[in-house]
Each structure stands twice: as structure tokens, then as C-alpha cells.
Chains A and B, each alone.
Chain A
Amino acid sequence: MSEFLQFLFSGLTTGSIYAVSGLGLAIIYNASGVINFAQGDFLMIGGMATVALLAAGVPLPLAIVLAVLITVAVGACLQRFALAPAGDSDALALIIITIGASIFIQGIVLLLLDKNQHALASFSGDTPIAIGGASLLPQSLWVMGVGAVLVVLVAAFFRFTLLGKAIRATAANHMAAQLVGINTRFVLLVSFCLAALLGGLAGIVAAPITTTSYDLGLTLGMKGFVAATLGGLGSAFGAVAGGLLVGILEAMIAGYVSSAYKDAVPFVLIIVILLFRPQGLFGGRVIERV
């Protein structure tokens, strides 16, 4: 039982990271129809920028704020300078652009910083908290807490604010959105900034646990993609549930079977889901897309 609890904690922690990453992916997918393969790089930029700023002597809170701002700026540039010029190209072309952007971003980070693995110090120390025979690291609480807060805030943003509703309206019907006076180019930009904000923050709180390096985005982005597809692409709730599910399954397989199979989990999951339920676990059933 305590063993199970231990694996569950570990799964919820990584699952929270996948969930937030998948949420960003779903937001961009809804607004633009693009699967953003640079989503994982947002997490990497958040972590790496924090590490670099700390090394330059910036205090942690300020470093976090700046790192998030940098990530958001990168998200805005990705939309404005890489995707917007491609205009109405088909989805596949846009997806390939994001893959190119991802490689470009990794190259820049490699040039500016280095190729080493960096571990950020935990925010609240490393003394484990004992719960029901299992132990939980304070940083895990940070990850789960920040993840939960972000999910709630994003949900509230889409439910209650005019801009959030305008983004949903644009996702639902691009032309009708323009006809009520919504600047849909601005909506796209905001969606990318929001996804980058989520990625950046997730990357920062995760960095003490996952460690961070310039190529971290590749695996994290993949997991976020699996999470979002699992939940049903375009369903925000599905992305969050999918992320938690992938995280927990990974931890259980690693714990009860072998950690050698852990990384196979998302890929087996995605093959199974695409074969038997291509609309995802929650896709199709929910009317609400964001």
C-alpha cells in the first residue's frame, strides 16, 4: 500500500507536468489547428533561463519572473514570425514549421548556454514529508500545486473573461468571430503566449526534479502530445486528465514492472488509443472544446 502510494505521488508529479504541457498544446490546437511541436521547448526555456539567470546572480523570484517573460516572448515570436507568415497553409505545413522552430530554439539555447544537464535547487528544501508510509518531496508539492492552480486559472480565464470567450469563439468559428469584431490575429498571438506561459512555468517548477538541458523539450513535448491526444485533441479537460494518466501509468510500470519500460508507456498508449478510440478518451463526448 505504501509502495503504491509512493508510485502514485511520483506519477502525479510527472503527470502534472505533462498535464500543463498538454493544456498548452490543446489551447494552440484549438485556436489555430496547429499541433505545436515546440511546446516542450517552452518548458526547456523556462528551466534553462532560470538556471542561467540564477548563475548570473539574479535572485530566484526575479529569475522566475524573467524566465517566464522570456518564454512568453519566444511563444509570441513563434506565432508572429514563424507561423503567421505562412498564412493559410495546410495544417501539415504549419506542424513542420513548429518542428523546425523547435530545432532552431534548441540550437540557440545550445549556443547561448551549454549542453550540460542542470538541476535547479528545490524551492523549499529536500526534506521528504512522510504520508501514509510513503514520502513526498516538497518540490513535488510545488509541481502539483502550481499545476493545479494553473489549470484552475486557465479554466476561469476561458469561462469568465471576455478575451477567453473570444478565444473560444475563434476556435469554434473563425469567420463568425471576425464578423463580431474579434481581431483573430491577436487571438492567435494570445493563445501562443498563454501556451508559452504555461510551458515556462511548468518547466521552472519541474526543473529541480527532471533536471533541464537544451534538448529536454523533445521528450517533454512528446509526452504532452500523448497526453493531449489521449484526452482528445482540443479538449482542455482531456489534456489534463491525459497528462495525469500518462504520468501515473509511467510510474506504476516503472515501479511494478521495470523502469526500462517506462518510456514505452506513452507510445504504447498512443497506438492503442489511435487504434481503438481515435477521438481520444474525452474527445467527441464533450461539446466544449476549450
Chain B
Amino acid sequence: MMQTQANAALQIRGLTSHYGRIQVLHGLDLEVRPGQLVALVGSNGAGKTTLLRTISGVQPASGGEIFCDGRLITQLAADKRVRAGICQVPEGRQVFAALSVEDNVRLGAYSRRDREVEADVARMYALFPILGEKCRLAAGNLSGGQQQMLAIARALMGRPRLLLLDEPSLGLAPLLVEEIFRVVQQLRSEGITILLVEQNAQAALSIADVGYVMETGRITLSGSGAELLGNDEVRRAYLGM
């Protein structure tokens, strides 16, 4: 039995996952320390989304181990992982389209029973004023960028200790992309540990403490954000230089 790093917020060892007979994660290792902003980059179909889903427990692991704050969670049900502090902003936003913006925000706190939910709703509207203005509208009526903010607010309502972000800037106008990255940095400065999956490798690696590069279900490179930005292979494959 290997000793887990006591100071890892998330530790993944030899993780494998399948869709039916197709193996997508091939023994993956990754570590996120408390308070870190870790960026994960990789080309289409590398398995980034599958990895985040497996961490959240909505996709089963077929092998390997996931530790959260030193606790083994590989077999834990998805809703219990939210209670353990793992919240995700899924790829494609996945807001509850028929429900109101406010209901979406409040459902983010579904796992909480404390009295500060109300104050947190107000905090979310302060962070994203547009959500406050549109709180009565059905979430499906929001624009793509607004839905992304809603998805982030919904995840934050779970009071994450580890926030998983799956391509939050995908398909957004440049101004909104900047806004999203500004929010991500703000969250990090508030002490939330973040694992950020991004196609926009340049932007992600330049704000990340640590970066990982993923190819066909394996980690192929890792290092500090700055190191990876200077790496020739990364520059060629992901930064188009």
C-alpha cells in the first residue's frame, strides 16, 4: 500500500476508464496540491472530459485510485463526492434549461444544509450581475456566455474545495473569455483549488501554477505553467508556433 501525499487535494494513480469496450483513460497519474490552479491541456478526444467525469463520479473508473484530501473516493457515489467538496462546471455548460436562473443557482447548493445559502446567492449575483438581472428567466433563454456564468455560479454554490472546470471559454466571444479567466483567477485567490481543462492552452498555462499535457488517455508532459509554455513540443502542438 503506497502512502498518499498527505498534502494533495487530488491525487490520481493509474486511473483507467472505459466506454463499453473502448478504453479512454490508460493508467493516468495526476496530482493537485491545495490552493493550486492546475491546467490540463490536450487535443480533441484525448480524454480530458472523461477524466473530469471520472473524478466527479458520473463516469465509473475501471481501475486505479482517486484520492481527495487523502481519502479514497474511487467508489464513492457522485452526490457524495459533491458533499466531499468536488464541484464541476461541465463541458457544454449543461444548465437546467427549463428551470429559472435562480433555481439553477439554488440547486447548486442542493448538498448544503447550512444557513449561508441565501448570502451565497447574493454573492453569485454580485460576481455575475447579469444573472441577478435575469434570475426569473428560464436558463435556456440565456446566451452561451451567460449560461457559462450560470454553470460556474451553480458549481460555486456547492462551496467547492476542488473546482473542476471543463473548457469554460469554449465558444465564447473574446471579451467573455477574458471575463471567465478573470473570474478563475479571482477564485484561485480566494483559496479554491482548481483543475482547469482548456483548449485555449496559451491562456490556461499562463495563469496556471502547474500544467499537464494529456494525449490519448495518458499524461505525456507536466511542469510549471511557465515551463510548459516554453516547451517546444507544447508550442508546436498546442500553441500553433
Interface positions of A from 178 to 200, Cβ below 8 Å from B = 178-184
Interface contacts (Cβ under 8 Å), in number, total 77
Contact with A along B83-118 (1 / 0, CB 8 A): 100011010001111110001001110110000000
Interfacial chain A residues near B99, Cβ < 8 Å? 165, 168-169, 172
Contact in complex: B97, A180 (CB < 8 Å):
no
Whether a CB of chain B sits under 8 angstroms from the CB of A176 is yes
In the assembly, what is the distance between CA of A169 and CA of B99, in Å? 7
Which of A172, A181, A289 is in CB contact (< 8 Å) with B110?
A: A181
Which of B53, B77, B108 is in CB contact (< 8 Å) with A180?
A: B108
Whether a CB of chain B sits under 8 angstroms from the CB of A219 is no
Tell me, rounded to whole Å, the shortest Cβ–Cβ distance linking A280 to chain B. 16
Contact with B along A107-144 (1 / 0, CB 8 A): 00000000000000000000000000000000000000
Whether a CB of chain B sits under 8 angstroms from the CB of A162 is yes
Nearest CB to that of B59 among chain A residues? A175
Interfacial chain B residues near A181, Cβ < 8 Å? 78-79, 82-83, 110-111, 158
In the assembly, what is the distance between CA of A177 and CA of B97, in Å? 12
In the assembly, what is the distance between CA of A168 and CA of B103, in Å? 11
Contact in complex: A165, B107 (CB < 8 Å):
yes
Q: Could you give 27 example pairs across A and B, Cβ below 8 Å?
A: A169-B103, A169-B107, A172-B96, A172-B97, A172-B98, A172-B99, A173-B95, A173-B97, A175-B90, A176-B95, A179-B56, A179-B58, A179-B88, A179-B90, A179-B155, A180-B82, A180-B111, A180-B154, A180-B155, A181-B79, A181-B83, A182-B110, A183-B77, A184-B79, A287-B97, A287-B98, A288-B138
The 6 closest A-B pairs by CB, nearest first: A181-B111, A181-B82, A176-B94, A178-B78, A183-B79, A172-B96
